[in-house]
Amino acid sequence: MMKPSQRAANTVLAGQQNNPTGALSGLRVLDLTDHKAHLCARLLADMGADVIKVEPPGGDEGRRVGPFVGDLPHPDRSLFFWFYNFNKRSLTLSLEHRRGRELFEQLVRGCDVVVESHRPGWMSAMGLGWERLHDLNPALVLCSIAPFGQTGPRRGFEADDTVLTALSGMLFVNGFPAERPLRPLGLQAYHSASYYGAVAVMMALIARERDGGVGQRIDLSMQEATVASLEQVAAVYFAERRIQRRAGSLHWTRFFRVGRCRDGYVMHSAMGDWTSLIEWVKADGKARDLDHPEWNDYAYRREHAEHIFDVLDDWIKDYPRDELVARAQALRLSYASVRGPEELFADEQLKARGYFVEVEHPELGRSFLYPGPPYRFERSAWRIYRRPPLLGEHTGEILRDDAGVSTGELAALAAEGVI
């Protein structure tokens, strides 16, 4: 989530260098992912790793995904690309060109991690398979992220987030009972794979210390990462051989459901102090049969959850949302407002923790608010220290500093389409 903002005390300047106090400071990562796995390397960059985003000379495909700042399509104005690539440096380099591969190999010798999401077999076809990279740098950790992994009958298949959630079982359990399944919000498969990828990389780095400095390859299946994210759906099936049915906004515990107030939505709760809730509803003349003795039984309420929430929906329809939630919480009832994204910027809790970070984009003459960290380290700071890179912005400095390429050769490489 980004929005234009006035300059604040925690403004991040575009030219700031890497995070020297981050937990992964000193780690060098080459990022060869496409939009399906951009987040994996960004999570490493957020904790201080020097992540070099290796893009083809025409730019990563994520730069062509909207929305764009000012509705002006441009590779440096994609909000989609911004979210997944801040804190990274951009190097344009064609791996399909022999000289490009040679330069990449030079960079591999001095890096710790390569994260890639090409079709299985593509890196080997380029002469950059695991065996070659391991020979160049035995300490290297390679994380290969693919829709179905590197083996199996679907190893060469393409799949986007919707297909992966469909094949993982996630899409099937989303939606309303009498209707067809609904696609989950966002990019659940892509994000699940990226989270698992970042964790796997860090585990492999720990193993490298144990194994005398020898790295290894990680084969990560996006389908399997999504299956692993089914949470209670899988547990219920394993334990009871029962498929959890679609329930709309009813929580799987059957004690929470979304209802509509006069001016917004709230999350109802039938858990907690049932007596206080029903006395309140009864005082408003809307309890119907919910004050009958059988509703005091926890199991009975769970079995008949839909009826409870139908009654409560009718009760709250004329209440102002914030008034209802404040009174419910005063009675120790676990009600919550259902907020729109625009309300998060005014959230006092997020403000107190400095969650949103302002980042300058000098080339646009503006600054934007970016989402910050969900965690705080006592000594290893998380911070945004670089706005998303312009296309090829760091190509010259990376190739000069890390591959010994002269200024004259840079011009020749550009003319040949290598960078």
d(CA 69, CA 82): 10
d(CA 22, CA 50): 10
d(CA 405, CA 271): 66
**How distant is the alpha carbon of residue 331 from its chain centre?**
36
Neighbours of 309 (CB within 10 A): 21
Phi, psi of 52 (to 5 degrees): -100, 115
Q: Is 361 in the active site?
A: no
Dihedral sign of CA atoms 239, 243, 245, 250 in order: positive
Q: Are 266 and 321 in contact (CB under 8 A)?
A: yes
d(CA 25, CA 88): 13
What secondary structure does DSSP assign to 48-66, as a single string?
A: T-EEEEEE-TT--GGGG-S
| Pairing of β 88-92 and β 28-32 | unpaired
Question: Strand, helix or coil at 267?
Answer: strand
Q: Are 398 and 91 in contact (CB under 8 A)?
A: yes
Question: Strand, helix or coil at 68?
Answer: strand
HEC sequence for 340-402: CHHHHHHCHHHHHCCCCEEEEEHHHCEEEEECCCCCCCCCCCCCCCCCCCCCCCCHHHHHHHH
| Active-site entry in 97, 134, 191, 251 | 251
Q: Are 102 and 89 in contact (CB under 8 A)?
A: no
Rg (C-alpha) for the chain, rounded Å, is 26
d(CA 114, CA 133): 9
d(CA 114, CA 33): 9
Q: Are 410 and 396 in contact (CB under 8 A)?
A: yes
Of 84, 71, 1, which is closest to residue 40 (Cα–Cα)? 84
User: Which residues have a catalytic role annotated?
Assistant: 251
